[in-house]
């Protein structure tokens, strides 16, 4: 165990970036600075505003080094991203936004090139959600620029490299539906040779490794010299505290832009690549059956469309929504999740109130989560962390649908807490709110109607 008192975590999500300082004794977030994560639409393809994120990170670290101070830095980022560096260590090509769609001929060529699901346990996903598809697109569409690439880094480790000058890759980022990793052999998949990039891949380091102190010029800029830890994929950061605290089997539902379900203690034998199930790789290098849908993005869209409703009124509307058979069908965010080919539509919502629409949205999210948990054969209690842990309507519905206890972990997300554990601090048990399974009249029949309406 380390003796750090405070840890700074650079946490770059798909929607927002933040720097958080955590108290190692309590696990509490004692300071947070954040900004939106903006995509630049011009240039060769849509890409993240890396320099704006870098300026934000340095300014935030400088401010937080003064007050409240920190002793080490850890990193966590969203997945489905890679940084391509040139000889001088700077970006040879912009970091592509994974929501960019490629020309059909490039997509078809990649489908023929990529390894089978049996090798990678990574499904063929839309847009650039497979990092292998991004690399194939960049290599095919921009051969001159790609020829200048000397190092390929997973996204969290790009930020570590900018802080320390040490290039690395890491297993949780390689193992999150990239097509580049074979979780059964714990080695690169055949795709790295088909793409001709094996020699470009940076050395693999453990998420728990300290890669070095910040570079001297950065220490001068932020006013402190501290060690920087290798970093971790954000959903696996959320999973890590539970791996430390609990014995399998159990499920973790990590909520953010994506709602990702992990079946800890499960196996990979029954995963369906056509329904967005996959193997993630945890911080210890072990394969974990997982499933996902873009629930955070969907709830954001729905909330903007419906408008505000008080949660007590939403909970009170559940019975009426179930009784009248008002349904919201997938997908609001198309192309992923357990029903990737379905188009969203409302049924029976013509005269619905705002509260009833919100209640239907919560039912939709709970049904989608229940479907995801079923697809990975999840067993044991269900732990929900992130923003959805504050949605009591969703949590009660999920407990009723799964017939299992649901435990909600409050806080903005578990990603920062998990990333902080990489530094060797002692894990702290957070407060939990328990939702035992309760009988909700008509819910089982409502679920049957929901599935039948998709046929």
- Average pLDDT rounded to a whole number, residues 106-117: 97
Report the first-to-last Cα separation within the chain, whole angstroms: 53
Report CA-CA distances (Å) from 306 to 249, 343, 349, 356.
38, 19, 12, 10
pLDDT of residue 240: 93
pLDDT of residue 385: 87
Q: Give the number of other Cβ atoms within 10 Å of residue 33's Cβ.
A: 16
Which one has a higher pLDDT value, 28 or 435? 435
Percent of the chain with pLDDT over 70: 99
Q: Give the number of other Cβ atoms within 10 Å of residue 174's Cβ.
A: 23
> Does the pLDDT value for residue 429 go beyond 80?
no
> Does the pLDDT value for residue 135 go beyond 90?
yes
Percent of the chain with pLDDT over 90: 87
pLDDT of residue 244: 87
pLDDT of residue 411: 62
Mean pLDDT over the full length of the chain: 95
- Per residue in 4-52, pLDDT (tens digit) is 999 999 999 999 999 999 999 988 899 999 999 999 999 999 999 999 9
Task: State the pLDDT confidence band at 413, using cuts at 50, 70 and 90.
Answer: low
pLDDT of residue 229: 99
Report CA-CA distances (Å) from 291 to 72, 78, 395, 419, 427.
33, 16, 18, 21, 26
pLDDT of residue 412: 53
pTM score: 0.84
Long-range contact pairs involving 208-213 (C-beta distance under 8 Å, separation at least 24): 208/283, 208/422, 208/424, 209/168, 210/72, 210/423, 211/160, 211/164, 211/166, 211/168, 212/164, 212/165, 212/166, 213/164
- Per residue in 196-222, pLDDT (tens digit) is 999 999 999 999 999 999 999 999 999
Give the residue carrying structure tokens 């391509």. 84
Domain 6-230 falls under CATH 3.30.420.40: yes
CA gap 426, 416 in Å, rounded: 14
| Secondary structure (DSSP) of 319-353 | HHHHHHT-EEES-SSTT-SSSTT---EEES-TT--
> Does the pLDDT value for residue 307 go beyond 60?
yes
- Average pLDDT rounded to a whole number, residues 427-435: 84
Domain ranges, ordered by start, for the chain: 6-230, 235-453
- Average pLDDT rounded to a whole number, residues 375-394: 94
What's the fold here for domain 235-453? Nucleotidyltransferase; domain 5 (3.30.420)
CA gap 310, 308 in Å, rounded: 7
> Does the pLDDT value for residue 274 go beyond 80?
yes
Check for a shared fold between 6-230 and 235-453. yes
- Average pLDDT rounded to a whole number, residues 78-83: 97
- Average pLDDT rounded to a whole number, residues 236-264: 91
């Amino acid at each position: 165990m380390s003796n750090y008192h405070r840890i700074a975590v650079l946490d770059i999500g798909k929607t927002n970036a933040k720097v958080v300082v955590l108290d190692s004794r309590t696990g509490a977030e004692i300071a947070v600075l954040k900004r939106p994560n903006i995509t630049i639409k011009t240039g060769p393809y849509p890409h993240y505003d890396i320099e704006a994120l870098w300026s934000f990170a340095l300014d935030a670290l400088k401010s937080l080094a003064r007050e409240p101070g920190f002793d080490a830095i850890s990193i966590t980022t969203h997945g489905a991203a890679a940084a391509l560096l040139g000889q001088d260590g700077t970006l040879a090509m912009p970091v592509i936004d994974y929501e960019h769609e490629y020309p059909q001929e490039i997509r078809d060529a990649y489908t023929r090139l990529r390894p089978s699901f049996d090798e990678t346990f990574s499904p063929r996903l839309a847009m650039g959600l497979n990092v292998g598809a991004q690399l194939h697109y960049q290599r095919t569409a921009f051969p001159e620029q790609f020829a200048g690439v000397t190092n390929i880094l997973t996204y969290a480790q790009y930020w570590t490299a900018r802080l320390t000058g040490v290039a690395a890759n890491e297993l949780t980022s390689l193992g999150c539906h990239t097509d580049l990793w074979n979780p059964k052999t714990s080695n690169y998949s055949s795709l790295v040779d088909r793409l001709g990039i094996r020699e470009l891949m940076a050395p693999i380091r453990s998420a728990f490794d300290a890669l070095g102190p910040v570079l001297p010029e950065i220490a001068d800029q932020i006013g402190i010299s501290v060690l920087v830890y290798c970093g971790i994929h954000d959903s696996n950061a959320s999973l890590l505290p539970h791996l430390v605290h609990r014995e399998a089997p159990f499920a973790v539902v990590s909520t953010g832009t994506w709602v990702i379900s992990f079946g800890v203690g499960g196996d990979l034998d029954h995963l369906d690549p056509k329904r967005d199930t996959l193997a993630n790789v945890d911080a210890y290098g072990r394969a974990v059956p997982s499933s996902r849908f873009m629930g955070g993005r969907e709830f954001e869209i729905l909330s903007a469309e419906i408008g505000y409703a008080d949660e007590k009124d939403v909970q009170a509307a559940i019975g009426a929504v179930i009784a009248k058979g008002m349904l919201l069908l997938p997908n609001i965010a198309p192309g992923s999740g357990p029903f990737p080919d379905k188009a969203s539509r409302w049924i029976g919502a013509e005269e619905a109130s705002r509260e009833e629409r919100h209640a239907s949205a919560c039912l939709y999210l709970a049904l989608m989560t229940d479907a995801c948990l079923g697809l990975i054969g999840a067993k044991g209690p269900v732990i929900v962390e992130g923003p959805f842990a504050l949605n009591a309507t969703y949590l009660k519905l999920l407990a009723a649908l799964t017939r299992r206890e649901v435990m909600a972990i409050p806080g903005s997300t578990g990603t920062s807490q998990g990333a902080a554990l990489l530094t060797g601090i002692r894990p702290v048990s957070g407060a939990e709110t328990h939702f035992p399974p309760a009988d909700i009249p008509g819910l089982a029949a409502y679920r049957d109607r929901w599935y039948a309406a998709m046929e």
